Amino acid sequence: MLKRWGGAARALAADRRGIAAVEFAFVAPLLLALYFVTMEVSQAIETNKKVSRIGSMVADLITQQQSITKSEIDAIMKIGESILQPYNRSVGKIVVTAIDITSDATPKVQVAWSRKLVDGTAGVGAAKGTPTTVPDALKVAGTFLIRVESDLAYKPVITWAAEDKPVLGLAAAFDGISMNETYYLRPRMSQSIGCGDC
């Protein structure tokens, strides 16, 4: 009986017919995981570039104006928001702030007007006259700046649930990757850009 079992064990160990299927069963999950991680990373990089492009494009369009209205600013921000398509797992935030740097001996940096687009809804940003900051290299007395901040909480595919359905596990613990960019541009057609109804 033992001889028969020993012979059967040796025959099984020598049999190589199913080895490829076993190796594939070990390697396939790893290859699939690498594929999906690579795909997700490339989409995250592309979305990060789009978040940066939003700030650049919105600032560029606003600084080409001599004066502007809040409806025009809101329309430009909506155009900026559409840059994120087809990404639709979270909604970006855009804040446009006009900054006036006074001609005083010690220049004051203050908000001239501000608008924001949050969750697709436009509204007032920082109040007029509110102190703000700019990089030291841009703090030139008697100048005017447009600052555009674009922000997005990027949600990978594994954390996203359609139609706001509740999610479990890793997705519930994962809040999103913060992607943001800030652009400062000077007006191109005039010294400052006024917004009468902001």
Task: Mention every residue, 6+ apart, whose C-beta is less than 8 A from residue 41.
Answer: none
Amino acid occupying residue 198: C
Per-residue confidence at 196, pLDDT binned at 50, 70, 90? confident
The ranges assigned to domains in the chain are: 19-195
SS3 state at 184: strand
Alpha helices in 85-189 (DSSP H): 170-173
pTM of full prediction above 0.85: no
Per-residue confidence at 120, pLDDT binned at 50, 70, 90? confident
**Residue 13 or 87, more confident:** 87
d(CA 176, CA 181): 16
SS3 state at 188: coil
In the prediction, which pLDDT does 166 show? Answer: 58
Residue range 141-157: mean pLDDT, rounded: 91
> pLDDT (tens digit, 9 = 90+) per residue, 37-96?
898 889 999 999 999 999 999 999 999 999 999 999 999 999 998 988 888 888 889 999
In the prediction, which pLDDT does 171 show? Answer: 53
In the prediction, which pLDDT does 11 show? Answer: 72
Output the DSSP codes for 22-59.
HHHHHHHHHHHHHHHHHHHHHHHHHHHHHHHHHHHHHH
In the prediction, which pLDDT does 164 show? Answer: 58
Quick count: other Cβ atoms within 10 Å of Cβ 123?
Answer: 11
d(CA 147, CA 182): 7
In the prediction, which pLDDT does 183 show? Answer: 94
In the prediction, which pLDDT does 173 show? Answer: 53
Which structure tokens are listed for 99? Answer: 């900054």
